């Protein structure tokens, strides 16, 4: 029997490539020269590369804020790669768009955010790792340089779908070279429930948020060998290399039933790789 848990696996993001303004132009001819006398904004043409796999839905969202707060779904498709959004308020100068990719299990991943402004968005920094030990938590990210840097901010949430808030209320980092964040005396028991993200902000007030990141679950252990001799089993496995190792649990069952496993022994030494079990 195999139990599959894909709760830690999300689809790869789909990024918007371009946003193009579409105008209706009124012109006149003066002295044999065509002159534009008026233009009306008709909407925006958005282009992306669709996900190549099957069973994915692309959801296009629009918002008035760069963090996509109170966003509106304007379009969804399985395979299309272009959409013209003409249901906009032309009096609003800047709109923000992104693609949410959703798989057949309902898991979603947001893509990049593009603005209708002529000014580029701040880059989305990428969290590289979240490392724990018994005393502290350390978050590491890349910190791609950009000219109009204002600050960045580290966020946390108890669920990928929920609101992300600053780890410390109103705390911002104004040193663009700082690419890590350490929390001391972190509640070790809740580490598996935390998602993290980093906001980058520029001097004009635009903000980008990284893809959310969760410390990955332990690697699946591999049993190298099980040898039986004289009413005893010798069980050997590969050593776990995670920085936040806590223990090994050696389990067994008599009925080949993965749901009725019984613990033989718990081992707290990370370098231990062998036990002898008498039967």
CA atoms within 13 A on the CB side of 179: 11
- What radius of gyration, in Å, describes the C-alpha atoms of the chain? 26
pLDDT tens, 252-275?
887 777 677 888 888 888 888 888
Q: Are strands 195-202 and 149-157 parallel, antiparallel or unpaired?
A: antiparallel
The token pair at 139 is: 């978050």
- Rounded mean pLDDT of the chain? 83
User: How far is 200 from 152, CA to CA, in rounded Å?
Assistant: 5
User: How far is 61 from 68, CA to CA, in rounded Å?
Assistant: 8
More confident residue, 28 or 102: 102
Q: In this predicted structure, which of 92-106, 112-126, 174-188, 218-232 has the lowest mean pLDDT?
A: 218-232
User: How far is 139 from 215, CA to CA, in rounded Å?
Assistant: 10
Q: Which domains, from first to last, does the chain contain?
A: 1-117 (2.60.40.10), 119-217 (2.60.40.10), 223-278 (no CATH)
User: In 10 A of CB 12, how many CB atoms?
Assistant: 14
Exposed/middle/buried for 37, CB within 10 Å: 0-12, 13-18, 19+? Answer: exposed
Contact 190, 177 (CB under 8 A): no
Map residue 191 onto helix, strand or coil: helix
What confidence tier does 190 reach under pLDDT thresholds 50, 70, 90?
Answer: low
Could you tell me which of 94, 96, 99, 63 has the C-alpha nearest to residue 81?
99
Map residue 68 onto helix, strand or coil: coil
- Using the predicted structure, report yes or no on whether residue 232 has a pLDDT greater than 90: no
């Amino acid at each position: 029997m195999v139990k599959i848990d894909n709760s830690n696996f999300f689809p790869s993001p789909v990024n918007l490539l371009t946003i193009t303004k579409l105008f209706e132009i009124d012109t006149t001819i003066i002295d044999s020269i065509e002159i534009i006398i008026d233009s009306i904004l008709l909407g925006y043409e958005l282009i992306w590369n669709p996900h190549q796999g099957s069973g994915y839905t692309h959801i296009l969202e629009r918002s008035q804020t760069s963090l996509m707060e109170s966003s509106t779904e304007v379009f969804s498709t399985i395979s299309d790669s272009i959409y013209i959004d003409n249901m906009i308020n032309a009096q609003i100068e800047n709109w923000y768009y992104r693609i949410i990719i959703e798989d057949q299990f309902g898991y979603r991943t947001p893509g990049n955010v593009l603005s209708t402004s002529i000014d580029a968005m701040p880059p989305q920094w990428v969290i590289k790792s979240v490392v724990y030990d018994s005393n502290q938590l350390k978050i590491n990210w890349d910190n791609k340089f950009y000219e109009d840097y204002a600050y960045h901010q580290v966020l946390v949430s108890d669920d990928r779908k929920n609101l992300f808030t600053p780890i410390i209320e109103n705390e911002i980092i104004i040193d663009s070279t700082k690419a890590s964040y350490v929390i001391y005396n972190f509640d070790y028991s809740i580490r598996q429930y935390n998602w993290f993200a980093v906001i980058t902000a520029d001097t004009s007030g635009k903000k980008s948020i990284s893809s959310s990141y969760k410390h990955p679950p332990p690697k699946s252990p591999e049993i190298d060998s099980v040898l039986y001799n004289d009413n005893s089993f010798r069980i050997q496995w590969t050593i776990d290399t995670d920085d936040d190792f806590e223990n090994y649990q050696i389990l067994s069952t008599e009925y080949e039933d993965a749901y009725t496993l019984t613990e033989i022994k718990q081992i707290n030494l990370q370098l231990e790789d062998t036990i002898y079990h008498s039967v």
